[in-house]
Structure 1
């Protein structure tokens, strides 16, 4: 069977990314090709200008900063929460606190050397979307690190330096070169591009075309 590489650009504060990530992973498992697929997650910053030492309730962020009507945001969140259940996601939007994600992305790149980057990605998204953790506070981010079996002190050293900043910038630069303007964004074997958290069949059809 052919080897398949799936490159995924996403951001931690994006519910469509969380859902899309789970969908592609679910489809890969469903069609029985997990052993032949490598999913590589890449950094993307939806709001790089968001202050690094603060948070804002997600609903307020969407209505006040992004100017979406509150009723529209409520309906969207209800739909996402319902859709997420099928993939084991417990969206709790009322407690989610938007934060600047650059530090979290740097830590993902750091965790790659320990093969813990995917586990950390999931843990950060769970902390944000389900537990309502204030991830702008380094101690809370480090708690997530520690719970993933990673070294807290080493992670703190990363945060206190500019380590892995270049890796984040490289991911964003590549996204710019490809023309990515929103996430999640999936590229399969450098050939098929899928934008957004699509229905399972869209991912399934693309993977089957690659395998054909």
Structure 2
């Protein structure tokens, strides 16, 4: 049985990334060869310039970034919240806190070393987008890691140093080489790219295309 590899670049504070994740999962639920699919998560930062340690309400950060008025930002947030609800997600973006996500991404890499990369990414997305958790807080990250099975002492040691920082940066570089300028960004069998939180049917078509036309490296 051949493996269909799906690489996904995502940021855990990205509302479209969680929507895209759910739409891909919906497509996989209808894909005839879902048991052959391997999903690999990769780090990406929507705003790498966000100062480490700075915490701001998402509403305020979006208004500054886009130049929109508070009312316009609330309208934008309302639209993405409605789209998330259609995928079974309950966003709390009006309470969410914008932070630098580098430590959360390092935690994802630590979790992946334990075979828990997927569950960790899911937990971090839910924490920020649905629970308004502050996902650069060390105690919060230790707790979230433990919830999916990452030993607390390992998370604390990782956060006290710079372990996995190089791996996170390598993810950024790999995503750019594949053409990622934003997230979510999906690459199937290292050959077929899907940009953005596309409809489930689009993902299903991409999965079927990649399965029917494997690249030489996957034959």
Which residues of structure 2 form unaligned runs of 5+?
Answer: 213-219
| Cα RMSD, aligned residues only | 1.5
- The 3-state SS of whatever aligns with 1:95 is coil
Query: Per-residue displacement from partner, 1:18-48 (whole Å, max 9, x unpaired)?
Result: 1111211221122243211011111111111
Which residues of structure 1 form unaligned runs of 5+?
Answer: none
- The 3-state SS of whatever aligns with 1:94 is coil
TM-score, structure 1 normalization: 0.93
Distance 2:57 2:121 in 1: 21
The Cα of 1:124 is off from its aligned counterpart by 0.9
Answer yes or no: is 1:182 the counterpart of 2:178: no
The Cα of 1:16 is off from its aligned counterpart by 0.6
Q: What is the number of equivalent residue pairs in this alignment?
A: 212
Aligned to 2:125: 125
Distance 1:68 1:205 in 2: 36
Question: Does structure 2 retain, via aligned residues, the 8 Å contact 1:54–1:136?
Answer: no
The Cα of 1:177 is off from its aligned counterpart by 1.8
Distance 2:72 2:27 in 1: 29
Query: Per-residue displacement from partner, 1:104-128 (whole Å, max 9, x unpaired)?
Result: 1111111112111111111111111
The Cα of 1:99 is off from its aligned counterpart by 0.9
Question: Does structure 2 retain, via aligned residues, the 8 Å contact 1:109–1:164?
Answer: yes
Moved >4 Å (runs of 4+): none
Aligned to 1:198: 198
Aligned to 1:113: 113
